[in-house]
Structure 1
Amino acid sequence: MRFGMFVPQGWRHDLVGIESSDHWNVMHGLAAYADAPGSGWDTIWVYDHFHTVPTPSHTEATHEAWSLMAAYAASTSRVRIGQMCTCMSYRNPAYLAKVAATVDIVSGGRLEMGIGGGWYEHEWRAYGYGFPPIPERLGRLREGVEIMHQAWTTGQATLDGTYYQVDGAIMQPQPLQHGGIPIWVAGGGEKVTLKIAAKYASYTNFGGTSEEFAHKSDVLRGHCDALGRDFSSITRSTEFRTVIGTDAADVAARLDRIEARVAPYLGSEATARYMGEYRNRSPHTLVGTPAEIVALLDERRELGLGYTVIYNPEAAYDRSGLELFAAEVMPALR
């Protein structure tokens, strides 16, 4: 199993209380920690969002994903860099393919391309994208991935699609990575998203309960079989919101500190929703001691999980949770 970590960028109210002038120092410091030889981390990740969650804030930062990609490309040297995931409709796909190729070159060939259909209606409408129905968002995803695939494997792209039209878009220079930048298709939609993944993806990203993960894996296998693709050539990944402590008391104390930090910015109702997933240990979270988290991930590994990406809400304030995960969870699952 391989491992990635999200670097906080404000989206989940994970830079509150820190002066905006200090944000880059905090973010770059965490990237440098992950980049260091022997850190254990394979990738660092950002989200592609413009407004905070669970409530949009008029005062709190959300740093833009592809600006950060370029910055991390230039300021790290070992760790791979990615977004989980870029919203297809926020940027023209030919333009995005060009941006990504440049970032790949700056990084020395370390870029991962996470891509999805998008979902955050508030920011869609606020930024003037409208909010098309799911079939259109997925249609844009399908056409956009085709354009990127062409661009990175042939040096140009042409598509007269329903949503995108490009005519001989030149993609020079090419990404450094042979065969193009690895594509991560995010989402578990069974009829469209996983079919796109079966055709184009090197990685998928979906979660849920163990039963849901196993079911979606079977659906992905079926799409691969229909296309004549080797199912094992696609690595399945899951993102987990993670709070880890040395014992139960440490876990509880960390949860209390997180709640105290975000409550003034979210209000009681949103705070309850925000913390509920952690305190109730939803399928999207890893909350517990190293032994408990190893057991949860080992169950998923038996079902085919090959890549775990964690988001740690303490990271900007306290790196000890990341360090504990790297020291005690990763070695047990490598």
Structure 2
Amino acid sequence: MELRVFTEPYHGATYDELLRATRHAEECGFDGFFVADHYHPMHFTDALPGPTDAWTTLAGLARETSTIRLGTLMSSATFRQPGALAVIAAQVDAMSGGRLELGLGAGWFALDHSAYGIPFPPPAERFERMEEQFQVITGLWATPPGEKFSYEGRHYRLTDSPALPKPVQRPRVPLIVGGRGPHRTPALAARYADEFNLPFTSPAQSAELYAGARAARAATGGPPLILSVCLGIAAGRTEAEIDTRLALLDEPSRLPPEEPLHGSPARIVDLLGEYADLGASRVYVRLRDLSDLDHLELLATEVAPQLRVKRS
């Protein structure tokens, strides 16, 4: 089971803080460093200096790291046009030497949109746009050099695109779809994604949603999906450390309710083992405090090795 870091810089972060955390995660041996793509804080206070743009951040991190994988959980389909996003992602993939992964979602947080003047269509249209974005992005990347790509959808139209640049990774950048929806989200993951991710779900809820995604994928005849989960984790060597980290994860917010995992490293290993038993091979650890680099080191030294031993 791989451990990746998931951060929420819309709560207020500088690029330098994100870079320090990313480099530390890389040094500790984490497999990836992923950023949420939101502009409005989920909590009820505005933290300075304010949000960062996910793709601007990833472009910088791509040049200032060397081995750790980078990506979004999730970019909203409402934020960018698919043709432009295909260009941006391909360039960041090249800037990183082929370490990018693209998580794409339909968009759900209305305040992102109203606060920054971004249109926010009804849910059905957002999912339609998300599916068309997958078709456009994968179509652009799959078009052979020298050929043109055209697309006629309900929401997007492309005519004779040169379909450049291409990502470094071939045949394309790995794609991630995630969410708690029982029908449309697993269906989209089955058709377009390499990985199906669940946000802050219990083992029982995860089991049900993983089963739906597996069934949808089997119906397409494609290879098995990578299954992953994003979790709040508060590990510590003492009760005081655990309580301090748990308090941040329990802070009131606009996010759906979640139950963070908390306890000693040994207890965290056991709790994560429940997800591994369901087939999850990746865990995105929610790092609420970018300055808490000791937490990353604790997870890397006392949790990650045990996960590898228990699941080998």
For normalisation by structure 2, the TM-score amounts to 0.90
Q: Does 1:218 align with 2:185?
A: no
Q: Which residue of the other structure, out of 150, 160, 163, is the alignment partner of 2:155? A: 163
Other-structure match for 1:263: none
The letter for the 2-side match of 1:52 is P
- Superposition RMSD in Å: 2.3
Other-structure match for 2:284: 309
Q: Distance in 1 between matches of 2:68 and 2:149?
A: 30
Q: Does 1:141 align with 2:130?
A: yes
Give identity over the alignment, percent: 30
Q: Distance in 1 between matches of 2:271 and 2:64?
A: 34
Measured against aligned partners, the alpha-carbon deviations of 1:116-156 in whole angstroms (never above 9, x if no partner) come to 01111012122223322111111111000111111112255
Q: Does 1:332 align with 2:306?
A: yes
Other-structure match for 2:241: 250
Q: Which residue of the other structure, out of 135, 139, 158, is the alignment partner of 1:150? A: 139
Structure 1 residue ranges, 4+ long, deviating more than 6 angstroms after superposition: none
Q: Distance in 2 between matches of 1:301 and 1:59?
A: 37
- Kept in 2, the 8 Å contact 1:8–1:315? The answer is no
Measured against aligned partners, the alpha-carbon deviations of 1:72-114 in whole angstroms (never above 9, x if no partner) come to 1111111110010110111000110011001111111110011
- Kept in 1, the 8 Å contact 2:78–2:119? The answer is no
Q: CA offset at residue 275 of structure 1?
A: 12
Q: CA offset at residue 272 of structure 1?
A: 5.2
Q: Does 1:227 align with 2:226?
A: no
Q: Distance in 2 between matches of 1:309 and 1:243?
A: 13
Alignment gaps of 5+ in structure 2: none
Q: What is the 5 A alignment of 1:63-82? A: 63-82=52-71
Closer/same/farther in 2, CA of residues 245 and 59 from structure 1, 3 Å limit: closer
The letter for the 2-side match of 1:308 is V
The letter for the 1-side match of 2:243 is A
- Kept in 1, the 8 Å contact 2:196–2:213? The answer is no
The letter for the 1-side match of 2:305 is P
- Kept in 1, the 8 Å contact 2:44–2:252? The answer is no
Number of equivalenced pairs: 304
Closer/same/farther in 2, CA of residues 34 and 140 from structure 1, 3 Å limit: same
Other-structure match for 1:294: 269
- Kept in 1, the 8 Å contact 2:113–2:119? The answer is yes
Q: CA offset at residue 35 of structure 1?
A: 2.4
Q: Does 1:174 align with 2:163?
A: no
Which shifted more, 298-307 or 204-213? 204-213
Q: Does 1:273 align with 2:277?
A: no
- Kept in 2, the 8 Å contact 1:187–1:193? The answer is yes
Q: CA offset at residue 58 of structure 1?
A: 8.1
Q: Secondary structure at the match of 1:305?
A: coil
Q: Distance in 2 between matches of 1:191 and 1:167?
A: 32
Other-structure match for 2:44: 55
- Kept in 2, the 8 Å contact 1:187–1:206? The answer is yes
Measured against aligned partners, the alpha-carbon deviations of 1:166-212 in whole angstroms (never above 9, x if no partner) come to 12322223111011000001213232211111011111111422121
Q: CA offset at residue 7 of structure 1?
A: 4.4
Closer/same/farther in 2, CA of residues 97 and 295 from structure 1, 3 Å limit: same
Other-structure match for 1:114: 103
Other-structure match for 1:4: 4
Q: Distance in 2 between matches of 1:168 and 1:229?
A: 29
For normalisation by structure 1, the TM-score amounts to 0.85
Measured against aligned partners, the alpha-carbon deviations of 1:189-244 in whole angstroms (never above 9, x if no partner) come to 232211111011111111422121111111112211221223x2x11111112221
